[in-house]
């Protein structure tokens, strides 16, 4: 059972500090030893409420030097987005777009915050940094290394997309960072390795504000299934339950850490589930990433708290901790916008970004189409952006059904009939950062039905550990109706292909991108496809050709996906907690 020890200087709590601490100390010491008990006792003071930043700053203990404050800043899922961009917000039941992000603005913001508490501020990134844009793809992530080093990160975690350019490039790109790298569940595999040799160090410690704190890294163990299998060749992914408790004990008992953090790239539902597992007891916060969720109030789980700081460099998570006499006394967390109207872009970083783009400007700035409606990809069920992609595939290859994965990356491109927006090669790379060729095949209606049931399980599984972290698979030529809360194999109510009820005995033609490393008879995670053929046409060329002949386009949500128990504007997979995506 999670121990409840309240902040000793929190005005909303009334208790006897000595009685609480003594009782909890004796309880913990009897099970884990003195060192572990002391660490948990310090960290346990985070349970309950937090104090506002204004109150923390005006604390007499902080002012007179009796107490100190340290700050942890977190970004995640930058996905190679280097420039200021349109960002999606959900306000009063509708989409609102504001300008956010940009590495130059991020630099100014982070430096401003660090100056408020120099020497006691740490900057952490939660992964998926050097994939997701044109300049990232064309340089296999190398272009981002100088930018990340110029920002000055202290700690980096590889995300599930860090493997996209292969193991060697991942190690070289991450190795180029000046920051420490941690991941406790990525191992070398293959010739010369026994599968237990770690690629990165499992944890990292740091002295701040007079106390030692520790960080354990975890990447998504489902990475080889979520991405093309070839990307993870030579890498073995372990499960958190295999070693997290051991590293928590090491940090608490032997390293004498006052606080322990898990830095994870597993998706919000998996991270919340992780917080309810007994093997994470002793962890104060899970600093999460992967599903681009914007956690503005830490999510309380049985054993810890969970945060996630959005995506695309649009947000920064900020956690302030007050320390007095070596003990954790108070805390405050907030999610801050990277707002260019508040923070003037850093000139040095802006120049470095321009230099990064310079060799690729001609290609990336080339306009390939025009849209009269906003291209956005934040909805779980269906999005205008993915309807463009599948419409292009349908037009080019003329199958019965065109498929695309439920990708998360890519900021919006805001447009209207009165103010159309240009689609560039750079934006195409953001929509589809992996330029795979199209593969055709034939499958029965029954196989499509069974495959869709499995895909829906990846999104809505009762067991959060089985959720892939993506959204519902995208398609054209097909409509589906399902109930998300039904069990695996019983969710789909009906399927229509080209307006007609699916015939489970009929064979249908399908097209999707190949996934490198999959069997030749696999298309979009659908195995055993008949007559598979690699077309030799990549998706980027198909989309360029489509836009060239159909611009201006005006995609919208059309009801290709209907869910009986979820709204069409569903924005998060997490249910049952005090959390809303805004």
- 210-259 pLDDT, tens per residue? 999 999 999 999 999 888 899 999 999 999 999 999 999 999 999 999 99
- CATH number for the domain spanning 96: value is 3.60.21.10
176 belongs to a structural domain: yes
Instruction: Please indicate, yes or no, whether residues 314 and 403 belong to a single structural domain of this protein.
Output: no
Instruction: Please indicate, yes or no, whether residues 443 and 518 belong to a single structural domain of this protein.
Output: yes
1 belongs to a structural domain: no
Section 69-75 average pLDDT:
97
What residues contact residue 258 under an 8 Å CB cut-off, 6+ apart? 39, 42, 43, 211, 212, 213, 323, 326, 327, 328
**Whose CA is closest to 438, among 507, 515, 346, 323?**
515
Cis? peptide before 299, omega within 30° of 0: no
445 belongs to a structural domain: yes
**Whose CA is closest to 184, among 144, 219, 233?**
219
Sheet containing 121-125: give its strands across.
180-181, 155-156, 121-125, 67-75, 315-324, 327-337
Assigned token pair, 365: 């700035």
Q: What is the pLDDT of residue 14?
A: 31
- 404-424 pLDDT, tens per residue? 988 888 999 999 999 999 999
Instruction: Please indicate, yes or no, whether residues 291 and 406 belong to a single structural domain of this protein.
Output: no
- 355-392 pLDDT, tens per residue? 999 999 999 999 999 999 999 999 999 999 999 999 99
Q: What is the pLDDT of residue 513?
A: 87
Percentage of the chain modeled with pLDDT above 70: 88
Section 499-517 average pLDDT:
94
Instruction: Please indicate, yes or no, whether residues 91 and 151 belong to a single structural domain of this protein.
Output: yes
The confidence band for 30, taking pLDDT boundaries of 50, 70 and 90, is very low
Q: 439 pLDDT exceeds 80?
A: yes
Residue 533 contacts residue 441 (beta carbons within 8 Å):
yes
Give the global pTM: 0.89
Q: 153 pLDDT exceeds 50?
A: yes
- 519-567 pLDDT, tens per residue? 899 898 899 999 999 999 999 999 999 999 999 999 999 999 999 999 9
**Whose CA is closest to 347, among 514, 102, 58, 41?**
102
Instruction: Please indicate, yes or no, whether residues 442 and 514 belong to a single structural domain of this protein.
Output: yes
26 belongs to a structural domain: yes
Instruction: Please indicate, yes or no, whether residues 316 and 417 belong to a single structural domain of this protein.
Output: no
**How far apart, in whole angstroms, are the C-alpha atoms of residue 331 and residue 8?**
11
Instruction: Please indicate, yes or no, whether residues 72 and 158 belong to a single structural domain of this protein.
Output: yes
Instruction: Please indicate, yes or no, whether residues 318 and 422 belong to a single structural domain of this protein.
Output: no
**Whose CA is closest to 566, among 477, 407, 456?**
456
Instruction: Please indicate, yes or no, whether residues 205 and 257 belong to a single structural domain of this protein.
Output: yes
The confidence band for 58, taking pLDDT boundaries of 50, 70 and 90, is low
**How far apart, in whole angstroms, are the C-alpha atoms of residue 202 and residue 216?**
6
Q: How many domains does the chain divide into?
A: 2
- CATH number for the domain spanning 459: value is 3.90.780.10
522 belongs to a structural domain: yes
Instruction: Please indicate, yes or no, whether residues 236 and 329 belong to a single structural domain of this protein.
Output: yes
The confidence band for 41, taking pLDDT boundaries of 50, 70 and 90, is very low
Q: 5 pLDDT exceeds 60?
A: no
Instruction: Please indicate, yes or no, whether residues 386 and 436 belong to a single structural domain of this protein.
Output: yes
35 belongs to a structural domain: yes
Q: What are phi and psi of 303, to 5 degrees?
A: -115, -10
Of 177-186, 466-475, 541-550, which gets the smallest average pLDDT? 466-475
Instruction: Please indicate, yes or no, whether residues 322 and 400 belong to a single structural domain of this protein.
Output: no
Range of the domain at 41: 17-350
The confidence band for 193, taking pLDDT boundaries of 50, 70 and 90, is low
Q: What is the pLDDT of residue 17?
A: 35
């Amino acid at each position: 059972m999670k121990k409840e020890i309240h902040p000793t200087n929190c005005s909303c709590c009334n208790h006897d500090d000595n009685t609480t601490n003594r009782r909890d100390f004796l309880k913990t010491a009897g099970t884990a030893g003195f060192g572990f008990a002391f660490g948990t006792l310090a960290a346990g003071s985070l349970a309950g409420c937090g104090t506002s930043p204004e109150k923390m700053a005006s604390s007499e203990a902080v002012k007179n030097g009796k107490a100190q404050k340290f700050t942890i800043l977190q970004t995640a899922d930058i996905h190679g987005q280097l420039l200021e961009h349109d960002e999606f917000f959900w306000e009063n039941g509708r989409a609102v777009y504001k300008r956010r992000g940009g590495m130059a603005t991020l630099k100014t913001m982070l430096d401003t915050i660090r100056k408020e508490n120099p020497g006691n501020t740490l900057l952490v990134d939660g992964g998926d940094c050097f994939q997701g844009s044109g300049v990232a793809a064309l340089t296999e992530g190398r272009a981002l290394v100088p930018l990340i080093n110029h920002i000055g990160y202290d700690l980096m975690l590889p995300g599930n997309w860090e493997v996209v350019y292969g193991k060697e490039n991942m190690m070289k790109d991450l190795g180029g960072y000046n920051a420490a790298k941690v991941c406790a569940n990525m191992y070398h595999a293959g010739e010369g390795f026994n599968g237990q040799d770690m690629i990165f160090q499992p944890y990292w410690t740091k002295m701040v504000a007079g106390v030692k704190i520790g960080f354990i890294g975890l990447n998504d163990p489902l990475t080889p299934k979520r991405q093309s299998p070839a990307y993870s060749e030579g890498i073995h992914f372990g499960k958190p339950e295999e070693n997290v408790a051991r590293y928590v004990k090491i940090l608490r008992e032997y390293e004498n850490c006052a606080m322990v953090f898990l830095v994870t790239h597993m998706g919000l539902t998996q991270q919340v589930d992780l917080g309810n597992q007994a093997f994470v007891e002793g962890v104060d916060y899970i600093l999460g990433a992967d599903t681009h969720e914007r956690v503005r109030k830490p999510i309380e789980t049985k054993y810890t708290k969970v945060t996630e700081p959005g995506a695309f460099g649009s947000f920064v998570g900020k956690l302030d901790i007050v320390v007095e006499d070596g003990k954790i006394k108070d805390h405050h967390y907030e999610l801050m916008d990277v707002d260019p109207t508040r923070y003037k872009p850093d000139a040095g970083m802006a120049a470095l970004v321009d230099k990064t783009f310079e060799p690729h400007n001609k290609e990336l700035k080339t306009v390939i189409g025009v849209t009269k409606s906003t291209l956005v990809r934040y909805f779980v069920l269906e999005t205008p952006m993915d309807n463009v992609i599948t419409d292009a595939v349908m037009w080019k290859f003329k199958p019965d059904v065109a498929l695309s994965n439920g990708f998360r990356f890519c900021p919006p491109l805001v447009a209207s009939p009165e103010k159309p927006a240009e689609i560039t090669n750079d934006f195409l790379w953001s929509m589809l950062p992996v330029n795979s060729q199209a593969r055709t095949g034939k499958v029965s209606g029954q196989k499509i039905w069974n495959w869709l049931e499995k895909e829906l399980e990846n999104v809505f599984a009762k067991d959060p550990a089985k959720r892939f972290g993506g959204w519902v698979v995208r398609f054209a030529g097909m409509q589906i109706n399902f109930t998300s809360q039904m069990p695996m194999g019983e969710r789909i109510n009906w399927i229509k292909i080209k307006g007609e009820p699916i015939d489970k005995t009929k064979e249908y033609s399908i097209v999707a991108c190949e996934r490198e490393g999959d069997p030749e008879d696999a298309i979009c995670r659908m195995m055993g496809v008949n007559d598979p053929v690699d077309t030799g046409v990549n998706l980027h060329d198909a989309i360029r050709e489509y836009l060239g002949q159909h611009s201006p386009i005006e995609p919208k949500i059309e009801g290709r996906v209907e869910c009986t128990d979820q709204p069409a504007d569903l924005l998060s997979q997490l249910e049952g907690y005090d959390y809303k995506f805004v």
